[in-house]
Chains A and B, each alone.
Chain A
Amino acid sequence: MKWFIAQLRKESWSPYSAGVMLGLVAVFSVWLTGHSLGASGSFENLAGALLKFIYPPAADNLYWKHIMPAGISWQVYMLIGVFFGSLVATLLSGSFKLSANPDFQWRAVWGNQAWKRWLAAFVGAIILEYGAGIAGGCTSGLAISGGVALAPSAFIFIAGMFISGILVSMIIYRKKF
């Protein structure tokens, strides 16, 4: 029991054990709830709901009706859980801190200005979400949930993700850091 609590309070786990935990979560999620993990889809659901609220005719098409139904979906609730899961994990390990630009590596490469971090996060997230929309999922929704069912799409996606990820980080970093 003491060991268990010590594990819960630990700052970080081995990526292997955390990965095993995610694998088990993915299995139990499909088994007990009938839904598979996914993150990017919930933003599409929410964006659809917002569009429906602002200008209903624009949301009245095939995509928002069948492919990504607008509204509060299962995934949106899951994403709320993700927020609290990581928040509680951080609070328990005692490393909770509010910071506008927390990452040392980011500061070393781009400087201390918080607006740069926020702008890159915003622009990067738009690109990322757009790509996820085309591919049919993100790292969790397509690579993990598809990969565990041995869907070819997941592995094509992972390959594409690494090709451009490596290229972009080569451009950003060149010889820095």
Chain B
Amino acid sequence: MNVTDILAAMLVGFAFGWSLRKAGLTKYHKIVNVFRFTDLTVLKYMMSALVVGMIGLFFLDEIGAIKLAVTTPTYVVGNLVGGLIFGGGMALAGF
């Protein structure tokens, strides 16, 4: 990787961290309360990101700017078991 790639990666991360912080998802109670259905910030944030991202990526794929590839392989049991373990840790730590 050259310097431009590293700076681009850091810039992407910067914007990512910025949006997480401004949505309040760096706080314990925001993460835990989505599982208690008292504060749905996480869902609102994730679903808006998904919708915008889907439209953007499929549009770019349609006009041929990128070649859309699924980078996350599906193996039902692994994804589900991993998700189950992950959720437990998430509710405990609040990340």
Pick from B5, B21, B47, B82: contact of A74, CB under 8 Å: B5
Which among B8, B13, B76 has the greatest number of chain A C-beta atoms within 10 A?
A: B13
The smallest C-beta distance from B23 to any residue of chain A, in angstroms, reads: 4
Residues in A whose Cβ lies below 8 Å from that of B83: 131, 135, 156-161, 163-164
A112 within 8 A of B: no
Those of B27-72 within 8 Å (CB) of chain A: 27-29, 32-36, 41-42, 44-54, 56-57, 60, 65-66, 68-72
Q: Are A163 and B52 in contact (CB under 8 A)?
A: no
Docked pose: A102 CA to B46 CA in angstroms: 24
Chain A interface residue number, banded: 35 or more
| Closest B residue by C-beta to A25 | B15
Q: Are A135 and B90 in contact (CB under 8 A)?
A: no
Q: Are A168 and B92 in contact (CB under 8 A)?
A: yes
Q: Are B46 and A143 in contact (CB under 8 A)?
A: yes
Digitize B2-27: 1 where CB-to-A-CB distance is under 8 Å, 0 elsewhere: 00011011111111111111111011
Chain B interface residue number, banded: 35 or more
Residues in B whose Cβ lies below 8 Å from that of A157: 79-80, 82-83, 86
Residues in A whose Cβ lies below 8 Å from that of B52: 19-20, 22-24, 26-27
Q: A85-B15, A140-B16, A168-B87 known; A105 and B54 CB under 8 Å?
A: no
Q: Are B49 and A19 in contact (CB under 8 A)?
A: yes
Q: Are A82 and B74 in contact (CB under 8 A)?
A: no
The smallest C-beta distance from B2 to any residue of chain A, in angstroms, reads: 12
Q: A24-B52, A31-B66, A166-B35 known; A127 and B76 CB under 8 Å?
A: no
The 10 closest A-B pairs by CB, nearest first: A81-B13, A160-B83, A135-B82, A124-B93, A23-B52, A85-B17, A19-B48, A128-B89, A131-B85, A131-B86
Interface residues of B (CB under 8 A from A): 1, 5-6, 8-24, 26-29, 32-36, 41-42, 44-54, 56-57, 60, 65-66, 68-76, 78-95
What are 8 sample pairs from A and B whose C-beta atoms fall under 8 A apart?
Answer: A17-B48, A30-B57, A81-B12, A103-B29, A124-B94, A131-B81, A160-B87, A162-B35
Interface residues of A (CB under 8 A from B): 10, 12-13, 15-33, 35-37, 74-75, 77-90, 102-106, 120-121, 123-154, 156-170, 172-173
